[in-house]
Amino acid sequence: MNLFNLPHTELLQHLINGLTLGAIYSLIALGYTMVYGILKFINFAHGEILMLGAYAGYFLYYFLCEGSQTGGFAIIAFVISLIFAMLISSFLGVIIERIAYRPLRKAPRLAPLLSAIGVSIILMNLAALFFGTKSRKFDYPFDNTALQLGNISVTPNQIMILIVGIILMASLKLFIDKTRLGKAMRATSQNQAVASLMGINVNFIISLTFAIGSALAAVAGIFMSMEFKLYPTMGQMAGLKAFIAAVVGGIGNISGAMLGGILLGLLETFGVVIIGIPQGLKDTIAFSVLIIILLFRPSGLLMKNIREKV
């Protein structure tokens, strides 16, 4: 199959699928980019925060409505579970930063990175121990029969992901650009020492960054377990790809992370249907993009190239 004999309705269909996937990547990428912006290191455990948030939401949802229900109560239960998942993830993010990253803030660069990898592995395997390795599926709290718009079918789930994704990203952007706390975050990412001299509580800002990033990851985690599946290693690959999305957009750049996520989602969807990359090699697309971007535009699409100051 190639681009030319693909009917345009089908193209539109893939566009919607790609956007949905992209919105999920964007939500995860935001967490990476915010943490990188402030601490200049990759929070390797971000994917596991996502996974644990998803499990938290899943268990609460099933506790509340014993699964496989739809309708009013299920939707309320779903919203409660979503918020619960965000809280759990935020809490985890903040705790992980306290325990595993804060003691290493002045250490050589390799140290926090290795520590983060360690945290990621611990959480992933603990989840496998306690929740089992089998995949679960988060049932839809609503009737997920696809809606037919002309020849395109869109599931209510996809619509929800897109809408919630856009709302969350827009509010984050507003928060960072317009509020005092947002300004404090930007100041901290520019220069921690000066920010603390200006009366900003740097530790609080860092915790806040982890909390927000982790909450967004939890939402992405729940979306992923509805659209795809829920399993202990789900965060690993999703996290990596979202990180790539953040790099594509220019790491440390909020709009860049959103753009990068959407681009990567589209690229993966179209890479499979148009270029005909085998499904099994789908993940390879993201990594190839990463290596190409890093080679030709190492600071991402939206950032200026910066040389190290001598």
- Give residues in contact with another protein (CB under 8 A): 36, 41-42, 99-100, 103-104, 107-115, 117-126, 128-129, 236, 240, 243-244, 247, 278, 280-281, 283-284, 286-288, 290-291, 294-295, 298, 307-308, 310
Q: In terms of CB distance, is 88 or 289 closer to another protein?
A: 289
Q: In terms of CB distance, is 129 or 149 closer to another protein?
A: 129
Question: Cα separation of 39 and 131, whole Å?
Answer: 32
Q: In terms of CB distance, is 72 or 298 closer to another protein?
A: 298
| Minimal distance, residue 213 CB to another protein, in Å | 16
| Minimal distance, residue 50 CB to another protein, in Å | 17
Q: In terms of CB distance, is 83 or 302 closer to another protein?
A: 302
Question: Cα separation of 270 and 302, whole Å?
Answer: 23
The Cα-based distances of 266 to 9, 14, 124, 269 in angstroms read 16, 8, 28, 5
Question: Cα separation of 83 and 3, whole Å?
Answer: 41
What pairing do the DSSP bridges indicate for beta strands 152-154 and 147-149? antiparallel
Question: Cα separation of 250 and 36, whole Å?
Answer: 11
Q: In terms of CB distance, is 20 or 209 closer to another protein?
A: 209
Other beta carbons less than 10 A from residue 225's beta carbon: 25
| Minimal distance, residue 206 CB to another protein, in Å | 17
Using CA of residue 239, residue 245, residue 250, residue 254, what is the dihedral sign? Answer: negative
| Minimal distance, residue 278 CB to another protein, in Å | 6
| Minimal distance, residue 306 CB to another protein, in Å | 10
Q: In terms of CB distance, is 76 or 117 closer to another protein?
A: 117
Question: Cα separation of 180 and 141, whole Å?
Answer: 37
Q: In terms of CB distance, is 133 or 153 closer to another protein?
A: 133
The Cα-based distances of 45 to 104, 113, 160, 303, 305 in angstroms read 15, 10, 27, 25, 27
| Minimal distance, residue 123 CB to another protein, in Å | 8
Q: In terms of CB distance, is 226 or 257 closer to another protein?
A: 257
| Minimal distance, residue 157 CB to another protein, in Å | 28
What values do phi and psi take at 137, rounded to 5?
-130, 130
Question: Quick one: which of 141, 219, 120, 212 has its CA closest to 175?
Answer: 212
| Minimal distance, residue 247 CB to another protein, in Å | 7
The answer to whether 50 and 218 are in contact (CB under 8 A) is yes
